Each structure stands twice: as C-alpha cells, then as structure tokens.
Amino acid sequence: MSVLIKNGRIVTATDDYHADIFASGERVDLIGTNLEIDADLVVDAGGKLVIPGGIDPHTHLELPFGGTTTSDTFETGTRAAAFGGTTSIIDFAVQFKGESTLEALETWHEKAAGKTAIDYSFHMIITDMPESRTHEMRRLSEEGVSSYKLFMAYPGAMLSDDGTIFRAMRQAGEDGTLVCMHAENGIVIDELIKIALEQGHIEPKYHALTRPTRLEAEGVHRALAIAEVARSPVYIVHLSAYDALQELRMAQARGVMAHAETCPQYLLLDVSAYDEPGFDGAKYVLTPPLREKWNQEELWRGLRGNALNAISTDHCPFCLKEQKELGKYDFSKIPNGGPGIENRMSLIYHYGVNGGYIDLNRFVELTSTGPAKIFGMFPKKGTIAVGSDADIVIFDPEREETISYYNAHTHHMNIDYNAYEGMPVKGFTETVFSRGRMIIDRGEYLGRPGDGEFIKRGPYGGMYTPSRSGEIPSQAPSTRRGG
C-alpha cells in the first residue's frame, strides 16, 4: 500500500513548508515538491496542515484504580485517540507491591496486544523497589520500557518512600533511563483529608481544597533534589501550578536534567468547575486538582519558554454514573482522573496557537516531537522525515467544532461526560495515517483493533548515558558555589 499526500503545508517542530509526501510502506520514502509518482492512494491536503501524529505520553487505559477500572479499554481509548490525531501513546503498566516488574509488563502486554488502533508503549509504575530488584529496571529497558513512574502521593497504595525513589533514580541514571514522578506530598494530603472529613466536608470540591499547590511544589522540589543527588534525569508528570513550575525552573537553571509536562485540564479548566451543581464537580476530581485560574497564564508561559517540555492528557476516565459515584458521600473515595485523549490536539491548537500563546512549530514540539525525544522514540516517531514512521495527520486549521459529549465528531471516548463540554475549537483532525495506513478519513474510522504495535523505546533522550558502575559521587551537588 503506497500513499501520496499532495499540496499540504508540512509543519514539524522546526520546519514549515509546502511539499508532497510519498510513503510506500510504513515509513516516509520521499518528500518533495510536485512529486509525480504512482501511488495506491493520493490525498489532496491543499489548504491543510500536515503534521506528525500526536504522541500522548501519559494515558491510563484499563487501569485498576480507586476500587474500579478506567472506562476506556485499549481498544476504545486508542480509537478515540486516533480520531483526535494522536498516533502513539505511552500508557502505564503497574507493578503491585511485592510483584516483579517483568511479570507486570507481561500482564500489560496481554491487555493491550491485538487491541489497539495506534502504536503504544508503556512506562512501568513502580510501587516498591528493594535493592535486590533494581536490576529489573535494566531488563525493562532492554524490553523497550525505558521509563518508570513513581508516586509521592497515594500512601498505602502507590506511594514510594524517598529511599525507594533515590534507588530507582540512581539506577535510571546509570542505565540511561528516566524516572517520571507524581510529585505531591501524599502524607500531608492524607492528614488534610482526614481533617476535612472529620469536619463533615464530603463534597467533590474538598478534593481540591485538601491538595494545595504548596504540597505539589514541595514534591517537585524533593523529586528534583533527589534526582540531582542521584545524578539522574527526571520527568515531572502533570505539573499543574505556578509554584511547582518555579521549583522546576530553579532546578533547570542549576543544571538538573529536569523535564516536565502539563495537561489541557490545567491550561483550560480551573477550580470553579468544582462548583458545578449537585455531584457534577466529581467530573473534575483528578490529581493534582484543578487550580485557581491565574495559574493558567503561568503554565502557558512555561510552555512557551521551554521550562515545560510536553503536553499529555493523563487520560484516566471514570464514568460519572457508578464510578465517580463511589465517592458520592466521601470525596476521598471518588476515583481520581478525567478524560482527554481525543481532544488534546484541537484544544492545544485552538487555545494555544490561535490563542497566541505558542506558535505552530511549538505546538508540534509539545504534542509530538518533545515526548518522542524525551522518551526514546525519535526520529522513528515525532517528526515527518524520510525514514520516519508515516504517522501523519492532515489537520484542518479552519474547521470549527464544539467539544461535547453530544457531538459525534468530538467524542468517541467510553465515558459518560466530556470535561471540555461546550468549548469551541477552530482546528480539527481530518485524516490520520498510522505507519502509512489511513485509519481515519474525514471522521470515519477505517482501522481495526490490533493495527497498533508495541513501540520498543530506546534510552532517555535517545542518548545512552554510560554506566558509572555504582560510583558514589565524590562531592554531592551543593547549593552554594564552591560549597
């Protein structure tokens, strides 16, 4: 099957030009002007943007969490992603306490194999990591899982103590892999939750009131300090607020290999959503919670200035009926998470590019190239270039839609609400190619479950950090010059 995409405006993280693209198999073979080549399929992209398929580096499909399981399966979630112009995801496998991470990886391979519409990879959620098992991390990276997520939140379930975090980071630093950190002080948050419940506060908005930004900033500070001493890179997930961003900037300024993502919910929604009538505020019980609106400007600034390096969704959908309702009489029992996998590209294009916060190249960088580079997938993924996978989106910059659960163009996710209900967007995915195969054609899904393949990722940043063979730093990084 060969395809010729003609007359499009090709935009990558660095380039912006008009040309044709020819792919005879899974990869791009040729890019040039006025290509005259026979192809099985010729698509006219005149007047459209032709961009690398989106990469969402943070999704939770079929995740057991909070006494239930996320409502999108690998089949429904990846199909919704494809509709929205995302052609790769990095989801999370979970190692439960006492279990081997390699067994956990097997379990997640079984869940996803043969189901997905688009290519996928896994981070490994680590819930414990005694010294005797740190060698598993290198084995995981050999299996293409070159990043891990650890939690400073959710005591008793996911939380890792600082020793575990240090051990994992030190190993990652040696192996050329990457620790992703959920940075929030979960121990103090649990105390605040206890106080709120004792005072009879059960409504969804107390989820936000018991998770102040300062406790996220403290987690970010601690994660960055531990990474600095462990001499490893670190990636802060779902950064939501200005004071956390300031911690990130300070660490970056002193040379810590610190990366971070934010998500559409923190850029576009705010704490007032918890005041929706009845129990509807539960739709926004996600972690970290929505913040005061003024933080949004600061996050856009962080994206423009490169402190923040990626935009993921943290797609973690739970239906309002029956799932969020588990916490109807106790906000701390509402499963944490919200949807977004389908709407990310349009939301960021409209509110970011049309809104004047970021330019087109930066849009591509934040939604595709950045994640591909950080997570060891570039240049196979994340760009349009000869030899790269033909993961290509034809994006109509003029098409207007209203994001809604009730709009069949904007909602294919398996969840009974849309967090961005009623938000207008100008800029919409029209046609999607996944490794050269057309899987979405003007709103119609042409693929099948199992089209997607597992992406065996390379080392962090595409670089191999030579092993320091357990070397202990002769001098710990200091806060004072010469100190």
Residues that bind ligand URP (CB under 6 A): 60, 182, 238, 286-287, 314, 316, 336-337
Distance from C-alpha of 296 to C-alpha of 291, rounded to nearest angstrom: 8
Question: What is the smallest separation between the CB atom of 222 and ligand URP, expressed in angstroms?
Answer: 17
Question: What is the smallest separation between the CB atom of 398 and ligand URP, expressed in angstroms?
Answer: 34
Binding residue for Zn ion (CB under 5 A) from 6, 182, 259, 362?
A: 182
Nearer to Zn ion, 5 or 104 (CB): 104
Hey, how many other C-beta atoms are within 10 angstroms of the C-beta on 454?
17
Using alpha carbons, list the distances in angstroms from residue 59 to 72, 78, 222, 350, 365. Answer: 10, 10, 24, 22, 18
Which partner in ligand URP, Zn ion, none is near 286 (CB below 5 to 8 A by kind)? ligand URP
Distance from C-alpha of 114 to C-alpha of 24, rounded to nearest angstrom: 24
Question: What is the smallest separation between the CB atom of 350 and ligand URP, expressed in angstroms?
Answer: 23
Using alpha carbons, list the distances in angstroms from residue 474 to 385, 459, 470, 478. Answer: 44, 26, 12, 12
Rg (the chain; Cα; Å): 22
> Nearest residue to Zn ion, using CB?
182
Nearer to ligand URP, 216 or 396 (CB): 216
Distance from C-alpha of 238 to C-alpha of 7, rounded to nearest angstrom: 37
Nearer to ligand URP, 182 or 380 (CB): 182
Nearer to Zn ion, 174 or 314 (CB): 314
Distance from C-alpha of 383 to C-alpha of 54, rounded to nearest angstrom: 10
Residue from 176, 181, 189 nearest 160 by CA: 181
Question: What is the smallest separation between the CB atom of 112 and ligand URP, expressed in angstroms?
Answer: 18
Fill in the per-residue mask, 430 to 449: x = in contact with Zn ion (CB under 5 A), - = not in contact: --------------------
Q: Quote the crossing angle between the two packed helices 162-175 and 135-142, to the nearest 10°.
A: 50
Interacting residues with Zn ion between 276 and 315 (CB under 5 A): 314
Nearer to ligand URP, 256 or 290 (CB): 290
Cis preceding linkage at 204, omega within 30: no
Residue 26 tokens, joined: 């899974």
Which partner in Zn ion, ligand URP, none is near 336 (CB below 5 to 8 A by kind)? ligand URP
The stretch among 43-51, 129-137, 181-189, 295-303 that binds Zn ion (CB under 5 A) is 181-189
Question: What is the smallest separation between the CB atom of 3 and ligand URP, expressed in angstroms?
Answer: 36
Residue 369 CB partners (closer than 8 Å, separation 6+): 12, 13, 52, 378, 382, 383
Question: What is the smallest separation between the CB atom of 315 and ligand URP, expressed in angstroms?
Answer: 9
Nearer to Zn ion, 91 or 203 (CB): 91
Angle made by CA atoms 64, 66, 69, in degrees to the nearest 5: 30
Which partner in ligand URP, Zn ion, none is near 429 (CB below 5 to 8 A by kind)? none
Cis preceding linkage at 212, omega within 30: no
Nearer to ligand URP, 80 or 286 (CB): 286
Question: What is the smallest separation between the CB atom of 287 and ligand URP, expressed in angstroms?
Answer: 4
Nearer to ligand URP, 316 or 413 (CB): 316
Per the CB < 8 A criterion, the answer to whether 391 and 88 are in contact is yes
Question: What is the smallest separation between the CB atom of 277 and Zn ion, expressed in angstroms?
Answer: 27
- Judged by the rule CB under 5 A, the positions of this chain that interact with Zn ion are 182, 314
